[in-house]
């Protein structure tokens, strides 16, 4: 949840955490089965933290509405898929079920953040605000499934990039896949409908930072594509771990012809029209390359892909 407020200095951690704490307290009094993480990232979200506090509510229990929905809609012998990401990040303990996270996934380490922005409060290593699945929620799903005799397909990985690789491999298991092409999408600048309808597999980038560039470079090593479709999130922040667009293009162009989607090179990373252009270009790509039948992934194929990562509960 995002809450607007009067502008503050983006480096004013104290004001940010006090405003977030005052927001969280009445919400926490509503019930017991969740936690709140006040997320402060003065690098990647620098333009946002000046005007907005972002609170993430994360469930510790499986609410009745969720349980009822599963029981009413799960097919006979159907399975639940639990995405149990345990990516971790230090968080300050503000109170019972109330936490503050400084920084997040990117090319800047937690230690570097805490050297510059710190509070005199207890610090715990916990599942990360944006990507981590609370352990209590995962346990609640397992317990519910056990009581109801429902099988759980559990996908527990330690980093968002690993989910990206898993998804890419899942695309390759589908018939009619275009192996000679790849679509590199980023954060919320993605459109699985386009991948499913065109057969172009996606490799998703968690963000537009140095660690994602290194991830792409490792993925591309030894590979060659006829065409590489590429888009990046315009974060507007220009954080120190945001590589210049030229570095991305230099790396990608060594492995195939690059087609930019949504991006205007001279404006990145501050291009407010990127998402609007991206929608139109995804539509155009679907018209140009649409399959006669969308991709499908058999459950047994997914289970086979998961076997190196976990055992199926």
Structure confidence at residue 308 (pLDDT): 64
When comparing pLDDT for 54 and 309, which is higher? 54
**What pLDDT is attached to residue 313?**
35
Averaged confidence pLDDT in the chain: 96
Sign of the Cα torsion 303, 304, 310, 313 reads: positive
Q: What is the mean pLDDT of residues 278-299?
A: 96
82 burial (CB, 10 Å; 0-12 / 13-18 / 19+) is middle
For the chain, give the percent of residues with pLDDT over 90.
94
State the average pLDDT over residues 268-277: 92
User: Of 258, 256, 263, nearest to 281 (Cα)?
Assistant: 263
Asked if residue 311 has pLDDT above 90, the reply is: no
227: phi then psi, degrees, rounded to nearest 5: -150, 140
Please tell me whether the overall predicted TM-score, pTM, comes out greater than 0.85 for this model: yes
Q: What is the mean pLDDT of residues 161-185?
A: 97
Q: CB neighbours (10 Å) of residue 197?
A: 19
For residue 12, which phi and psi values (nearest 5 degrees)?
-85, 75
**pLDDT, tens only, 81-138:** 999 999 999 999 999 999 999 999 999 999 999 999 999 999 999 999 999 999 999 9
Q: Which of 221, 215, 211, 236 has the alpha carbon at shortest distance from 43?
A: 236
Instruction: Read off the pLDDT of each residue in 239-248 and give the average, rounded to a whole number.
Output: 96
The pLDDT score that the predictor gives to residue 238 is: 83
- Whether residue 310 is predicted with pLDDT greater than 50 in this model: the reply is no
Q: What is the pLDDT of residue 235?
A: 87
Q: Is 52 left (phi over 0), alpha (psi -120 to 50) or beta?
A: beta
The domains of the chain are located at 2-155, 161-289
Q: Is the domain defined by 161-289 classed in CATH 3.40.50? A: yes
Strand order in the sheet with 202-205: 202-205, 181-186, 227-230, 257-260
pLDDT of residue 309: 53
pLDDT at 158: 95
Q: Among candidates 145, 169, 146, which has minimal Cα distance to 219?
A: 169
Does the structure show a pLDDT above 50 at 312? no
Q: For residue 242, is the peptide bond before it cis, meaning its omega torsion is within 30 degrees of 0?
A: no
């Amino acid at each position: 949840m995002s809450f607007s407020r009067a502008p503050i200095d983006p480096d004013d951690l104290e004001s940010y955490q006090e405003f977030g704490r005052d927001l969280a307290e009445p919400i926490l009094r509503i019930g017991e089965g969740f936690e709140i993480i006040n997320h402060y990232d003065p690098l990647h979200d620098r333009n946002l933290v000046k005007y907005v506090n972002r609170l993430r509510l994360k469930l510790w229990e499986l609410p009745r509405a969720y349980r009822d929905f599963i029981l009413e809609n799960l097919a006979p012998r159907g399975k639940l898929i639990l995405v149990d990401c345990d990516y971790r990040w230090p968080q300050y303990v503000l109170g019972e079920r109330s936490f503050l996270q400084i920084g997040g996934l990117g090319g800047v380490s937690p230690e570097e953040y805490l050297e510059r922005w710190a509070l005199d409060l207890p610090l715990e290593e916990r599942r990360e605000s944006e990507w981590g699945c609370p352990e209590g929620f995962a346990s609640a799903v397992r317990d519910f499934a056990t009581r109801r005799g429902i099988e759980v397909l559990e996908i527990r990985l330690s980093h968002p990039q690993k989910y990206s690789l898993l998804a890419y491999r899942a695309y390759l298991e589908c018939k009619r896949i275009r192996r000679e092409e790849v679509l590199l999408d980023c954060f919320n600048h993605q459109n699985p409908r386009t991948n499913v309808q065109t057969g172009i597999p996606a490799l998703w980038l968690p963000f537009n930072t140095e660690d994602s560039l290194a991830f792409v470079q490792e993925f591309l090593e030894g590979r060659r594509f006829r065409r590489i479709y590429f888009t990046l999130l315009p974060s507007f922040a220009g954080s120190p771990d945001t590589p210049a667009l030229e570095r991305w293009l230099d790396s990608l162009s060594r492995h195939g012809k690059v087609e930019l989607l949504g991006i205007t090179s001279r404006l990145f990373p501050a291009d407010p029209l990127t998402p609007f252009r991206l929608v139109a270009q995804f539509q155009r790509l679907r018209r140009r390359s649409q399959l006669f039948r969308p991709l499908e992934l058999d459950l047994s194929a997914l289970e086979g892909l998961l076997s190196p990562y976990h055992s199926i509960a």
